[in-house]
C-alpha cells in the first residue's frame, strides 16, 4: 500500500488556512486533517475534538513527556501539538494528512519527514490580513495586535517552504493546493516502486 502524503500548511493568522483545510476535506474523503492539542481556551463556536483537543498545561506536558506529539510549539503564548498516532495511522493507510501548524512546528516536521510537503498560505495584502483577523471577531484587541505584529516576520519565512499559495480567491487557492497534491504524487521518487515493476 502506497503511503499517503503529509502536507504541512502554515501562514500568518488570518491568511485563511483553516477555511482552506476545511474545504479540502470536503472535496476528498482520502484527505484527513490532524486535530491538534492546545492549551488555548476554546473560542465561541469551537468544538472539542473537532477544532482542537483543549487540554491544560499539565496534560500537555505529560503528553509531551510521553512522546505523544509529532511536533509541538508555543505560539502566541499558548502551547500547540500534533498528536502522533493519528498522523502515522492515516499515512500508513494511504490517506493524505494535512497539518495546519506554525512555522516552528513545520521545521520540526521537516527534520523528521523528508518527503513531507510544505505549503505557505499568503494573504493578498497586510491590510486585508488585518481586516480578516478583526472581522473574525474571535480575538481580543491584545491578541489581534499580537498576531498582526508577528505577521510580516512569519511571511518572510515563506522561503523555507516548497510552495506559496496566494489566498485572494478561496476557490483558486484550493485548486492550487489540489494541483500541488497531484503534482507531488507524480514525482518519480513517489512512484518508483510502480516504475520498477515495468523495468
Q: Which residues bind ligand 5GP (CB under 6 A)?
A: 13, 17, 36, 40, 71, 73, 75-76, 80-82, 100-102, 104-105
Nearer to ligand 5GP, 105 or 123 (CB): 105
CA-CA distance, 97 to 128, in Å (whole number)? 29
| Least spacing, CB of residue 12 vs ligand 5GP, in Å | 7
Written as nine digits, the cell of 35 is 486535530
Nearer to ligand 5GP, 1 or 41 (CB): 41
Nearer to ligand 5GP, 80 or 163 (CB): 80
Q: What is the 3-state secondary structure (H, E, C) of the chain?
A: CCCCCEEEEECCCCCCHHHHHHHHHHHCCCEEECCCEECCCCCCCCCECCCEEECCHHHHHHHHHCCCEEEEEEECCEEEEEEHHHHHHHHHHCCEEEEECCHHHHHHHHHHCCCCEEEEEECCCHHHHHHHHHHHCCCCHHHHHHHHHHHHHHHHHHHHCCEEEECCCHHHHHHHHHHHHHHHHCCHHHCHHHHHHHC
Integer angstrom CA distances of residue 182 from 133, 177, 186: 31, 9, 7
| Least spacing, CB of residue 129 vs ligand 5GP, in Å | 13
| Least spacing, CB of residue 110 vs ligand 5GP, in Å | 12
Q: Determine the residue with CB nearest ligand 5GP.
A: 105
| Least spacing, CB of residue 185 vs ligand 5GP, in Å | 24
Look-up: residue for cell 498560505?
A: 121
Nearer to ligand 5GP, 13 or 167 (CB): 13
Nearer to ligand 5GP, 2 or 74 (CB): 74
Nearer to ligand 5GP, 40 or 190 (CB): 40
| Least spacing, CB of residue 143 vs ligand 5GP, in Å | 9
| Least spacing, CB of residue 105 vs ligand 5GP, in Å | 2
Amino acid at each position: 500500500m502506497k503511503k499517503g502524503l503529509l502536507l504541512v500548511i502554515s501562514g500568518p493568522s488570518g491568511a485563511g488556512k483553516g477555511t482552506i483545510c476545511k474545504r479540502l476535506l470536503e472535496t476528498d474523503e482520502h484527505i484527513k486533517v490532524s486535530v491538534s492539542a492546545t492549551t488555548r481556551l476554546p473560542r465561541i463556536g469551537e468544538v472539542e475534538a473537532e477544532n482542537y483537543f483543549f487540554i491544560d498545561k499539565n496534560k500537555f506536558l505529560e503528553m509531551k513527556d510521553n512522546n505523544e506529539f509529532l511536533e509541538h510549539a508555543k505560539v502566541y503564548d499558548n502551547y500547540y501539538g500534533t498528536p502522533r498516532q493519528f498522523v502515522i495511522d492515516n499515512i500508513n493507510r494511504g490517506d493524505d494528512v494535512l497539518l495546519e501548524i506554525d512555522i516552528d512546528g513545520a521545521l520540526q516536521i521537516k527534520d523528521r519527514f523528508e518527503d513531507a510537503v510544505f505549503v505557505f498560505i499568503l494573504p493578498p495584502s497586510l491590510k486585508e490580513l488585518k481586516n480578516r483577523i478583526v472581522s473574525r471577531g474571535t480575538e481580543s484587541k491584545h491578541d489581534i495586535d499580537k498576531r498582526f505584529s508577528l505577521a510580516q516576520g512569519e511571511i518572510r519565512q515563506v522561503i523555507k517552504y516548497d510552495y506559496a499559495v496566494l489566498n485572494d480567491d478561496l476557490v483558486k487557492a484550493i485548486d492550487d493546493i489540489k494541483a500541488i497534491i497531484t503534482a507531488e504524487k507524480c514525482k518519480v521518487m513517489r512512484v518508483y516502486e510502480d516504475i520498477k515493476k515495468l523495468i
